[in-house]
């Protein structure tokens, strides 16, 4: 059974409800998930426990820009240590998978290599999202195993926009809110021997209840684990 470490916790989101819902969803696919709010402690175990998959579903960043988040810095401001960064890079170098969900693109904003790993990140002063609400989702590369055979859908979520993306990112789906335009919302990439899947949806536990999106999340995890098309096709 593949193992998975979920790094979670952070500002404004109910990760205390959503992260266990995510773990339960992945467990249904035979992925045994452990959840931790202590990012540094979790990453310190990577070399010892060597989980097959690392999932980042958190909102921890430096909060260094502007005054809006000043009241929250004492509790939530975070800079990933050099050891933590090395743990993620070593995990991918040995062939581990990485699943990055929703706010993961905001995390670790003072670590430039995070953009190289994910392929796209939040850029303060440019990136944005309309208020939480109805979001339309269209699928693009329908030959890719993560979205093959699935249909467009609507759900309640946040549609991130104007992310800082690498030129080689090829979106598998786009999302838009009622007041926004179509924005890349899902992509995959390979980093050395490792695989990375990024899904910018997932604001709350309800996103993991939607029948199509839950299949996308589980397929993305299986793709990152490099479990092959047959298993992805059944997810």
Write out pLDDT tens, residues 32-62: 999 999 999 999 999 889 999 999 999 999 9
Nearest-10 crossing angle of helices 15-28, 211-224: 70
What's the pLDDT score for residue 231? 47
- Give the pLDDT of residue 148: 95
Please state the rounded mean pLDDT for residues 138-157: 95
Task: Please tell me the distance from the alpha carbon of residue 235 to that of residue 232, in angstroms, as a whole number.
Answer: 5
Instruction: Report the SS3 class of residue 151.
Output: coil
**Average model confidence (pLDDT) across the chain:** 95
pLDDT band at residue 142, thresholds of 50, 70 and 90? confident
Cα dihedral: 136, 147, 199, 193 (round 10): -160
Distance of alpha carbon 44 from alpha carbon 5, whole angstroms: 12
- pLDDT of 230: 44
Residue 179, pLDDT score: 83
Strands 173-177 and 183-191: antiparallel
Q: Which residues of 190-227 are buried (b: 16+ CB within 10 A; e: fewer)?
A: ebeebbbbbbbbbbbbebbebebbbbbbbbbbbbbbeb
CA–centroid distance for 150 within its chain? 20
pLDDT confidence tier of residue 234, bands split at 50, 70 and 90: low
Instruction: Give residue 178's pLDDT.
Output: 87
Spatial contact of 1 and 49, defined as CB atoms under 8 Å apart: no
| CATH annotation of 3-123+185-234 | 3.40.50
């Amino acid at each position: 059974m593949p193992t998975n470490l979920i790094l979670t916790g952070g500002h404004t989101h109910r990760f205390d409800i959503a992260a266990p819902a995510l773990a339960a969803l992945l467990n249904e696919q035979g992925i045994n998930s452990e959840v931790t709010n202590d990012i540094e402690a979790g990453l310190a175990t990577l070399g010892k426990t060597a989980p097959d998959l690392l999932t980042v579903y958190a909102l921890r960043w430096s909060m260094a820009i502007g005054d809006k988040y000043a009241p929250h810095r004492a509790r939530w401001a975070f800079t990933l240590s050099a050891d933590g960064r090395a743990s993620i890079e070593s995990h991918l170098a040995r062939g581990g998978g990485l699943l990055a969900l929703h706010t993961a693109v905001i995390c670790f904003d003072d670590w430039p290599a995070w953009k190289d790993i994910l392929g796209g990140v939040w850029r303060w002063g440019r990136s944005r999202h309309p208020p939480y609400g109805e979001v339309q989702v269209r699928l693009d590369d329908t030959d890719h195993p993560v979205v093959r055979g699935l249909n467009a859908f609507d759900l309640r979520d946040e549609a991130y926009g104007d992310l800082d993306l690498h030129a080689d990112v090829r979106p598998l789906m786009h999302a838009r809110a009622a007041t926004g335009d179509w924005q890349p919302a899902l992509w995959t990439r390979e980093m050395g021997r490792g695989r990375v899947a990024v899904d910018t949806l997932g604001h709350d536990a309800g996103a993991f209840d939607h029948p199509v999106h839950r299949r996308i999340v589980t397929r993305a995890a299986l793709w990152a684990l490099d479990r092959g098309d047959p298993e992805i096709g059944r997810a």
